[in-house]
Structure 1
């Protein structure tokens, strides 16, 4: 099943920032901008919810929308290219079925002080939030009502970089909080596959769900999606430009060892 992700909608939280092609990241300045906006226009902007596109299948519950305009998404991408420090050496490797491989993309972890996240047999310590990662986090919270304390950053230099089929189902993640995936840069195919329809041993015929995640978009993976569906970002050789993906999560401290 293919879902057309070119949704002609945009979220204009900070009109002045878009006009100037820059984003004021200080919270005090953002509050000041909101106060200076025309009162009628502000009421119109915030009176309606984000125009979400609902995507559902058996055990799949996903919401999709364009969160940032092109100008704002361009600026955010540029800022992240300057701010994010990606893992190197042993931290740039992953363990799969007991074997260690180089990660076919760049990766970094940021979040609240002291937080760690364990996946694929590796534990990552969260670096302190950067201004832009905080800004995007707050924008996601504003439209979803959910708070997040951790983000996994994946940078794909081109279509050769990819991520294989997996589920974000670690026990330390809050099951009541969706995983919020923000895409910036090159549009890439994103494929969901039901756990019962994978590989040669599949026991059911369930069509995969394919999306194209656009520049500035937000994808919410709600429960029970990660229980029943794997997702991947496959190789696409014709894609020549980079993409940055931010997956915001909420880690439960009382579930960590």
Structure 2
């Protein structure tokens, strides 16, 4: 995710992730408690998922599961509600053969789509973060079992850029982007960011399935996706705003995180040099299966970034869905020529 900006060479290096904006900052201050709410009707909600999350906020058709002891205690006592939830989860998994890794890929996609169809919008518990011109919504979209399968299929299907599309030019010098990237979209669409234009290649089956689900649970129609793959905590993304003119101004950026939990932060534009306002940075961990909406006018006023974390050893894959306005994209392309 990148945008348009005016800055010094040093600030541009920060934007591109080649330099940390605050190298002395080694610790994160998380906004509020970790994500503790998931819905037990999510398919393939396993015992391991229950050990990672607390069940709160009883909604229609859901069962509340309360762990009786510490989440780190293997001797936790199961309630009748625990058993009921586990049985329901096992029934859904068995019906869909969801955990069968030997299933042919086409059938795995069909099974995944069937599983997605059982995720109800009324089952998702959304949380809000509101600040000065900042509007964020987030929820746990996938249980660990579903998120694992989606990530496995993405690792098989997504083709990441190489060559010039995998580099960025800074003051006449070419640099490798500190992560892998890929874009997919509806026919004829392109997306220009960080000074380069990327094609909307045909949707891979798993990406299309995830897009359709995100469209359904958010109520928006996304037609383009930028995928970033971070091999470990050394891969990063510098501060930037997704404010390209070809993006629909009233449609939020929908960001789905899979794999390694990483810290994600927002910084108000007027807290950057020259500093005009004193507004605290907003930071939050993005977990495996988290869907985050950056609602308008967030991207007009707030930069966001994914800083490096030496302790993060696993792979993170992030899909950011956008709505590209074809006329604006075409105009941008013509202006470039």
- Larger relative contact order (CA 8 Å, sep ≥ 6): 1
Of 112, 117, 122, the residue aligned with 2:186 is 112
Moved over 4 A (4+): 11-15, 96-99
Deviations 1:136-156 (A, max 9, x none): 111111111001100000000
Of 268, 291, 296, the residue aligned with 1:194 is 268
> Which one is further off, 52-61 or 99-108?
99-108
Q: CA deviation at 1:126?
A: 1.4
Say whether residues 1:21 and 2:99 are aligned partners.
yes
Q: Provide TM-score, normalisation by structure 2.
A: 0.68
Higher strand share: 1
| Contact 1:11/1:66 (8 A) holds in 2 | no
| Contact 1:158/1:241 (8 A) holds in 2 | yes
Say whether residues 1:6 and 2:35 are aligned partners.
yes
Q: Which residue of 2 aligns with 1:38?
A: none
Q: Which runs of 5+ in 1 are unaligned?
A: 35-41
Of 198, 205, 209, the residue aligned with 1:135 is 209
Q: Which residue of 1 aligns with 2:320?
A: 247
Q: Which residue of 1 aligns with 2:227?
A: 153
SS of the equivalent of 1:202 reads coil
* Structure of higher CA gyration radius: 2
Q: Provide TM-score, normalisation by structure 1.
A: 0.88
Q: How many residues align?
A: 246
Say whether residues 1:221 and 2:324 are aligned partners.
no
Say whether residues 1:72 and 2:146 are aligned partners.
yes
Say whether residues 1:180 and 2:254 are aligned partners.
yes
Q: Which residue of 1 aligns with 2:243?
A: 169
Q: 1:222–1:98: structure 2 CA closer, same or farther, 3 Å change rule? A: farther
2-structure distance, mates of 1:142, 1:190? 25
Deviations 1:75-102 (A, max 9, x none): 0011100000100111101234665321
SS of the equivalent of 1:25 reads helix
Of 229, 237, 241, the residue aligned with 2:310 is 237
SS of the equivalent of 1:254 reads helix
Q: CA deviation at 1:255?
A: 1.2
Q: Which runs of 5+ in 2 are unaligned?
A: 1-28, 45-91, 101-106, 332-337
Q: Which residue of 2 aligns with 1:30?
A: 114
1-structure distance, mates of 2:256, 2:154? 12
2-structure distance, mates of 1:206, 1:60? 11
RMSD: 2.4
2-structure distance, mates of 1:212, 1:183? 10
2-structure distance, mates of 1:5, 1:99? 41
> Which one is further off, 6-15 or 163-172?
6-15
Say whether residues 1:61 and 2:135 are aligned partners.
yes
Q: Which residue of 2 aligns with 1:88?
A: 162
> Which one is further off, 126-135 or 186-195?
126-135
Q: CA deviation at 1:10?
A: 3.8
